[in-house]
Amino acid sequence: METVPDPLTPFLDRQGVMILDGGLATELEARGHDLADDLWSARMLMDRPEVIREVHLDYLRAGADCIVSASYQATLEGFAGRGLSEKEGVELLERSVNLARESRDSFWDDPANHQGRLRPLVAASVGPYGAFLADGSEFRGDYGLSEEELLEFHQQRWQILTSCDADLVACETLPSWPESRALRRLLEATPEIRAWFSFSCGSGEHLNDGSLLAEVVGDLQECPQIVALGVNCTSPTHISGLIRSTRSATAKPIVIYPNSGECWDAQARAWLPDDTEAPSLESSCTRWAELGARLMGGCCRTGPRQIEELRRILVGGADGSISAS
């Protein structure tokens, strides 16, 4: 069987690090769009797809080497709850990846954007079961579902998203070990696909369901289709410890894209201040790179300004500097 190339290699060989985008839904909210909805950013796939395209483009202009599709909270079950047919739901899932690809292609069509850059990647987002529930359970992991039930939930969406010509899949904000096992099985059933797995964590060592990150990473690190392992949508306060935990269990590239350090109140549908004063991405990224992080970006409550700063600090120089609007 022909080996599928690792899409991250050119970026890591050239730059040492790869810059990811920032939060999508919270950036849409920052631009005045109301996402107080169980579908969250996925609602914009139905109502205002052009604004998703705009945010993708702004992250690319800010220096992102990879943008992530607006499919985190998009599921056939969720769309069916809005009265959409299965065909319409499939079309919206496909649209999420197509919008990202169109944005990337539009950006790359301008030769001025080639200076100091490689052609950016598109990652298809596969969010956790808890994102479909829209009750904040991706920050708890207390689903009460078996690995088989989680595999069944993810299977059809996986098949749709992995057929959309994204460069790789982002299995992200995973709060539980059984869910990571289910997604690994789906990944291994599609040998042409590459993916990163990133977990939501409540401490410097544990996933939100209480599993030890090092044990979960150790369970996954032998899968050659997984090109990076790490954490996302986790407070910056915990990131250094989580990098150490990840590095103890794998030699794969480590991916991190923390949130701003605020906490999500699912009932109030609002971000609340954390108990501690979390460090910023900009003030911590050099230290995280020294600890071993190789893919870095932001999650909820981060935006293009932070991504521009990440690129300036971590890549910068004649080979990587950009002019971001």
Predicted confidence (pLDDT) per residue in 12-70, tens digit: 999 999 999 999 988 888 888 776 666 767 778 988 899 999 999 999 999 999 999 99
Pairing between β-strand 270-272 and β-strand 263-265 as defined by DSSP bridges:
antiparallel
User: Residue 18 corresponds to which tokens in the numbers above?
Assistant: 């790869």
Contacts of 25 (CB under 8 A, 6+ apart): 35, 40, 41, 72, 73, 300
Instruction: Count CB atoms within 10 A of the CB of residue 125.
Output: 25
Per CATH, the number for 9-313 is 3.20.20.330
Mean pLDDT of the chain: 90
C-alpha torsion sign, points 238, 58, 67, 147: positive
Pick from 143, 108, 119, 109: nearest CA to 129: 143
Q: What is the mean pLDDT of residues 143-153?
A: 95
Q: Which of 248, 71, 28, 267 is nearest to 173 (CA)?
A: 71
Side chain identity at residue 73, one-letter code: Q
Structural contact between residues 70 and 33, judged by C-beta atoms closer than 8 angstroms: no
Confidence of residue 208 (pLDDT cuts 50, 70, 90): very high
Write down the pLDDT at residue 317.
47
Per-residue CA distances from 193 to 118, 166, 199, 262, 297 (Å): 21, 9, 19, 33, 22
Question: Can you tell me the distance from the alpha carbon of 300 to that of 282, in angstroms, rounded to the nearest whole number?
Answer: 15
pLDDT (0 to 100) of residue 140: 86
Angle made by CA atoms 190, 42, 60, in degrees to the nearest 5: 75
Tell me, rounded to whole angstroms, the distance of Cα 164 from its chain centroid.
Answer: 17
Beta pairing, strands 263-265 & 254-257:
unpaired
- Asked if residue 279 lies in contact with residue 237, where contact means CB atoms within 8 angstroms, the answer is yes
- Percent of the chain's residues with pLDDT above 90: 74
Which of the residue ranges 104-108, 174-178, 271-275 would you say has the lowest mean pLDDT? 271-275
Whole-model pTM? 0.91
